Amino acid sequence: MTGQMKDFKKCITEKLLEYAADLSNCFNIKAVMVYADVFRDKEFLDHFVAKLSETKLVLVSREKIEEELPDKVVVIKVPSIKLTRLGQMKVAVLVGVSQGIFHPEDVILCLSGIAESGIIDSLFILDIGEEFEFFAVTQLEHLHEIVRPEVFLRVLEIAIDLSVEGREGKPVGTIFIVGDTEQVLKYCEQLILNPFKGYAEEERNILDPRLEETVKEFASLDGAFIIRGDGVIEAAGAFIRAGAVTEDIPSGLGARHRSAAAITAITQAVAITVSESTGTVMVFYGGKIIMEIERPQFFGQPSGEQKLHGVHFAKD
């Protein structure tokens, strides 16, 4: 990128931030949502927050932010995935709704650009309850009462890893059923001996980073992972016998997706599937597909950026 073009994009970013602040003060906007790497330093962030008046700022980050932030700043942590501009916001809204940060009646102003570029080139206003692509996501509004937010995010991260890395560059198809475990297990039977049976709960919690490779290995087994809302894995290789699907799902989807639709229709669980053929990650809730995430790509830390306490700040 030439110096002139870099200055031009930096100027656009600053102007869009100013315009977003002005809009938030003119209309009933619940929050301004933007990826954290846009803010080059703490002073730049504080300057923007001061312009927002009563509107809160939602920072979306792929890593834990350890910096002390102003009171009206909320952080949403999302998986480290490369998505389109709209895709970035879709995942952020998905996680935000599941954590109770956003609600169906909220109107939010979204700022987006090329992922991890530190540049904004798009602004759009999203009415969560009215927007077609986001309407289904609002069903997750009370999910945090059943599944701990960090558990939902962790399972989503592992599912995306299985989509991207898989085995020998190919996706590993699997299904995770999370929450309402007591009811879910009534409709399950083991296809194989349960590899998690007999272990202490603290040794089989999906939040434990040491368990990640084990989960990925067992993902190649037929059947589903059954995970409690607090992250404890109750079973792997479980067969779901939930009967006929009660909700319409797109044609061409296999048994794995139909099982996910069926079990979430008759329980309060959420299901996350990975397609073995396409790598698409799908989230099911209430018997319906809540969101589809096409097979993404991981990408490293771009040159010309510095990493400060979990936040990527672009160098001038």
Is the pLDDT at 25 greater than 60? The verdict is: yes
Q: What is the pLDDT of residue 10?
A: 82
Based on the domain organization, do 135 and 152 belong to the same domain?
A: no
> Rounded mean pLDDT of 70-90?
78
| CATH code where residue 152 lies | 3.40.1700.10
Q: Are 288 and 247 in contact (CB under 8 A)?
A: yes
Q: Which of 119, 141, 163 is the last residue of a domain?
A: 141
Alpha carbon distances (Å) from 86 to 9, 36, 134, 142:
19, 16, 11, 24
Based on the domain organization, do 73 and 162 belong to the same domain?
A: no
pLDDT band at 202 (very low <50, low <70, confident <90, very high): very high
Is the pLDDT at 263 greater than 60? The verdict is: yes
Is the pLDDT at 273 greater than 90? The verdict is: yes
In a domain, 298, yes or no: no
Look at the chain and report how many structural domains it folds into. 2
Beta bridge partner(s), residue 127: 107
* Half-sphere exposure (Cβ direction) of 62: Cα atoms closer than 13 Å: 20
Is the pLDDT at 113 greater than 90? The verdict is: no
Is the pLDDT at 206 greater than 90? The verdict is: yes
Pairing mode of beta strands 56-61, 31-35: parallel
Provide the residue range defining the domain that includes 193: 146-285
> Rounded mean pLDDT of 309-313?
37
Measured between alpha carbons, how far is 210 from 121 in angstroms, rounded to an integer?
39
In 3D, which of 201, 206, 197 has the Cα closest to residue 176? 206
Based on the domain organization, do 58 and 128 belong to the same domain?
A: yes
Is the pLDDT at 124 greater than 60? The verdict is: yes
Q: What is the pLDDT of residue 6?
A: 75
What are 261's two structure tokens?
């639709």
In a domain, 257, yes or no: yes
Q: Which of 125, 141, 157 is the last residue of a domain?
A: 141
Is the pLDDT at 122 greater than 70? The verdict is: yes
In a domain, 316, yes or no: no
Based on the domain organization, do 109 and 66 belong to the same domain?
A: yes
Based on the domain organization, do 275 and 153 belong to the same domain?
A: yes
Measured between alpha carbons, how far is 211 from 207 in angstroms, rounded to an integer?
8
Residue bearing the bigger pLDDT, 118 or 134: 118
Q: Could you say which DSSP state residue 26 is in?
A: H
Measured between alpha carbons, how far is 178 from 22 in angstroms, rounded to an integer?
41
Based on the domain organization, do 251 and 177 belong to the same domain?
A: yes
In a domain, 295, yes or no: no
Is the pLDDT at 314 greater than 60? The verdict is: no
Pairing mode of beta strands 107-112, 31-35: parallel
| CATH code where residue 105 lies | 3.40.1380.20
Q: Which of 106, 141, 176 is the last residue of a domain?
A: 141
Based on the domain organization, do 173 and 276 belong to the same domain?
A: yes
Based on the domain organization, do 258 and 127 belong to the same domain?
A: no
Q: What is the pLDDT of residue 316?
A: 34
For helices 85-98 and 149-164, the axis angle rounded to 10 degrees is 150
> Rounded mean pLDDT of 179-201?
92
User: pLDDT of 146-157, one tens digit each?
Assistant: 899 899 989 998
What are 157's two structure tokens?
């991260």
In a domain, 297, yes or no: no
Is the pLDDT at 144 greater than 70? The verdict is: yes
Based on the domain organization, do 97 and 162 belong to the same domain?
A: no
Is the pLDDT at 2 greater than 70? The verdict is: no
pLDDT band at 46 (very low <50, low <70, confident <90, very high): confident
In a domain, 155, yes or no: yes
- DSSP, residue by residue, 130-153: T-HHHHGGGGGGGGGGTS-HHHHH
Q: Pseudo-torsion of CA 108, 113, 281, 215, nearest 10°?
A: -100
> Rounded mean pLDDT of 158-165?
87
Based on the domain organization, do 150 and 134 belong to the same domain?
A: no
Q: What angle do CA 42, 43, 49 make, to 5 degrees?
A: 90
Q: Whole-prediction pTM value? A: 0.77
In a domain, 303, yes or no: no
Q: What is the pLDDT of residue 67?
A: 78
Average pLDDT of the chain to the nearest whole number: 82
> Rounded mean pLDDT of 33-45?
83
Based on the domain organization, do 150 and 272 belong to the same domain?
A: yes
Q: Are 171 and 298 in contact (CB under 8 A)?
A: no
Based on the domain organization, do 76 and 163 belong to the same domain?
A: no
